[in-house]
Amino acid sequence: MLLLLLTIGAEAARLPAMKAVLLVSRRDRLRPGTFTEIVIWRVPRRVPGSGHGYKYRMALIDQGECVLRYDNETGKGDHRHIGAREEPYRFTGIDKLLEDFDAETGAYLREHPRHR
């Protein structure tokens, strides 16, 4: 929760979950042609297929190609895309979600140090 508070601020974290609240919306350039985009909402009801009250999408884009994406599409639940492969993701909290995405982003950047 500390990471979430640092990201969204204490005021937004105390808002009642009566309507959807945008917690994070950011795009970070990592190197020329490569960026991440992270959007997280706190929603008043669980997203169908997910056991929590967050709606999110996180993507790593390299040279116009989405190489990594985490999201919880309605009805599909929490999952991630690595290239063309899709697999379930075990959501345990926002901090862990951000940590996992950051770790996979770092690994990708180390494995692909140069532009294609």
**How far, in Å, CA of 28 to CA of 107, rounded?**
16
Helix (H) / strand (E) containing 93: none
Per-residue pLDDT of 77-108, as tens digits, reads 999 999 999 999 999 999 999 999 999 999 99
Q: What pTM does this model have?
A: 0.79
Does pLDDT of 16 surpass 70? no
Tell me how far apart the alpha carbons of residues 28 and 5 are, in angstroms, rounded to a whole number: 19
Q: What is the DSSP letter of 97?
A: H
- pLDDT at site 3: 44
* Residues 17-44 pLDDT 10s: 468 999 999 999 999 999 999 999 999 9
pLDDT at 115: 53
Smallest CA-to-CA distance from 109 within 75, 71, 53, 63 is with 63
Residue 107 lies in a domain: yes
Residue 107's pLDDT is 97
Are 56 and 47 within 8 A, CB to CB? no
In a domain, 116, yes or no: no
What is the span of the domain harbouring residue 88?
Answer: 2-111
87 within domain boundaries: yes
Count of structural domains, the chain: 1
Of 67, 68, 44, 70, the closest CA to residue 56 belongs to: 70
